[in-house]
């Protein structure tokens, strides 16, 4: 399935339009509402709760974004939903709640965080939870992950939504927890056909990669992450069809 035009005709706010100085933590309800008000698309992240629910949260641990600690995956959804986010008045949102909040008003780019730990095949529950939440959603939505196994697992749920790969140059110095062989494999972006990807979201620092140009010539949409200035945006748009941004008004 091709990526709808709605994902290409407006910038996409990374983890929603977050700004803790304005009381809008990343992936928060306030940041989501601000992105909608600004007419931006929204990128969010999904992690899995202990009872198999998809939660809108970036990190594997709670420490950076809340006053709590420990892995997200060791707490039930109701407990996570009661934890305040640092820098704002809201708590950790559930994915189903966010879908109801957005309600198709802007495109929603959903990143499923790797649950295997090494981009391997130990995935499934989060992809199933995401697909279940999206079953009756009628707004523009697309799903992606750094882990190709995760994308394949979500696609196998038969939602009919476009899927893509979150990609980069996979420099081993930046991905120290991944085996070197995995980095070498993933940097070639070999799984596009296998998972049925209609787009990639690529590290903007690596957009000159010939593989990106090859995929663009084959008709894939090229998104990129994470743009943090107008100057970076200008450079990225020479290759990318759209940008995911934060920290300025794209």
pLDDT tens-digit readout, 57-89: 999 999 999 999 999 999 999 999 999 999 999
Region 92-96: mean pLDDT is 98
234 three-class SS = helix
**Is residue 102 pLDDT above 90, yes or no?**
yes
**Is residue 179 pLDDT above 90, yes or no?**
yes
Q: Which domains does the chain have, with CATH numbers?
A: 5-245 (3.20.20.190)
Residue 210 has a CB neighbour count (10 Å cut-off) of 7
DSSP string across 77-142: HHHHTTSBBTTSS-BPPBHHHHHHHHTTSS-EEEEEPPSSSSSSS---HHHHHHHHHHTT--S-EE
Region 211-222: mean pLDDT is 98
Region 211-221: mean pLDDT is 98
- pLDDT for the residue 145: 99
Element (H, E) at 211: helix 210-217
- Cβ atoms of 25 and 221 closer than 8 Å: no
- pLDDT for the residue 1: 85
The pLDDT confidence band at residue 95, using thresholds 50, 70 and 90, is very high
DSSP string across 20-56: GGGTB-TT-HHHHHHHHHHT-EEEEEEEE-TTS-EEE
The pLDDT confidence band at residue 3, using thresholds 50, 70 and 90, is very high
The pLDDT confidence band at residue 13, using thresholds 50, 70 and 90, is very high
Name the percent of the chain lying above pLDDT 90: 100
Region 35-46: mean pLDDT is 98
Region 167-177: mean pLDDT is 96
Name the percent of the chain lying above pLDDT 70: 100
Region 25-31: mean pLDDT is 98
């Amino acid at each position: 399935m091709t990526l709808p035009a709605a994902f290409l005709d407006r910038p996409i706010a990374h983890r929603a339009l977050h700004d803790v100085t304005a009381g809008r933590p990343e992936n928060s309800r306030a940041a989501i509402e601000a992105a909608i008000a600004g007419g931006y698309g929204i990128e969010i992240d999904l992690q899995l709760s202990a009872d198999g629910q998809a939660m809108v949260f970036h990190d594997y641990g709670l420490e950076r974004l809340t006053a709590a600690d420990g892995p997200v995956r060791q707490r039930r959804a109701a407990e996570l939903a009661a934890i305040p986010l640092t820098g704002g008045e809201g708590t950790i949102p559930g994915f189903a709640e966010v879908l109801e909040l957005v309600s198709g008003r802007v495109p929603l780019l959903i990143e499923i965080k790797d649950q295997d730990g090494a981009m391997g095949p130990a995935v499934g529950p989060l992809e199933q939870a995401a697909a279940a939440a999206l079953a009756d959603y009628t707004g523009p939505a697309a799903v992606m992950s750094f882990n190709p196994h995760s994308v394949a697992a979500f696609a196998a749920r038969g939602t009919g939504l476009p899927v893509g790969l979150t990609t980069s140059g996979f420099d081993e110095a930046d991905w120290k927890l991944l085996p070197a062989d995995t980095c070498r494999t993933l940097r070639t972006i070999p799984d596009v056909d296998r998972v049925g990807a209609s787009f990639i979201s690529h590290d903007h620092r690596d957009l000159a990669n010939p593989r990106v140009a090859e995929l663009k010539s084959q008709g894939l949409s090229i998104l990129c992450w994470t743009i943090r200035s107008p100057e970076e945006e200008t450079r990225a748009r020479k290759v990318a069809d759209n940008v995911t941004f934060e920290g300025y008004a794209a």
